[in-house]
Amino acid sequence: MAPAADREGYWGPTTSTLDWCEENYAVTWYIAEFWNTVSNLIMIIPPIFGAIQSVRDGLEKRYVASYLALTVVGMGSWCFHMTLKYEMQLLDELPMIYSCCIFVYCMFECFKMKNSVNYHLLFILVLFSLIVTTVYLKVKEPIFHQVMYGMLVFTLVLRSIYIVTWVYPWLRGLGYTSLGIFLLGFLLWNIDNIFCDSLRNFRKKMPPIIGVATQFHAWWHILTGLGSYLHILFSLYTRTLYLKYRPKVKFLFGIWPVILFEPLRKH
């Protein structure tokens, strides 16, 4: 976490319960943590295109919701890191819980009839979200949020491992790439928290371009944004395989992965 002695800017005093390692208002007076803010673009823009493509392809609404939920997380995180206000912190952290619940629903409904609805699972996830929201608003303890989020991510990891081990082994590349990128982001998140003072001192001595490269919380956004996007692709690939489609991962401009597919033709 950041040391207490940070400058103020356009948004006034910090009211959030967390203040990250990036120096506040160091780049511009209008954005508290500049790199932690703009790094959220990877969570905002690509999922919007994913949601539009999902609608065009006539996919189940839960996959549109998955993409849009990731966009909402990115927008909330943008507002939080731009302002360091408590209300904006909630716009970041609570959608993280809600989006993961949508991901969990998708992963556990991969092998059901098309457009089926599991009301029992929906009820459990909605109840979980309400309990986490109520408790977090009352206790305002970031560790509680982090543990609840970690539980959801762990559930997704176990389900993914089950699928690539027992159902579709040829999806290991996509599944483990998503997981590996996410875990790398988590590693950098911890380094940023634990070694903040050392990182700040290092940045003071280094050219700005090297200093930017050590903004590890921004890298957490980039890597977990990409990892979450790849997880949606993995979930969608699993689902469309089960529905007898022909999914393929293509790379736009040679770099950005998307899923293209067509229904299996009837003879």
* Angle (nearest 5°) at CA 214 between 251 and 143: 90
Where is the binding site for Ca(2+), in residues?
19-20, 22, 24, 33
Where is the binding site for Zn(2+), in residues?
81, 217, 221
CB-side neighbour CA atoms (13 Å) of 31: 15
Determine contact, residues 92/77, Cβ cutoff 8 Å. yes
3-state secondary structure of 245: strand
Determine contact, residues 156/231, Cβ cutoff 8 Å. yes
Where is the binding site, in residues?
19-20, 22, 24, 33, 81, 217, 221
Beta bridge partners of 250: 258
How far apart are alpha carbons 71 and 149 in whole angstroms? 17
State the alpha helices, DSSP H only, in the chain. 34-38, 41-56, 61-83, 86-108, 119-139, 142-162, 172-194, 196-205, 208-213, 216-242
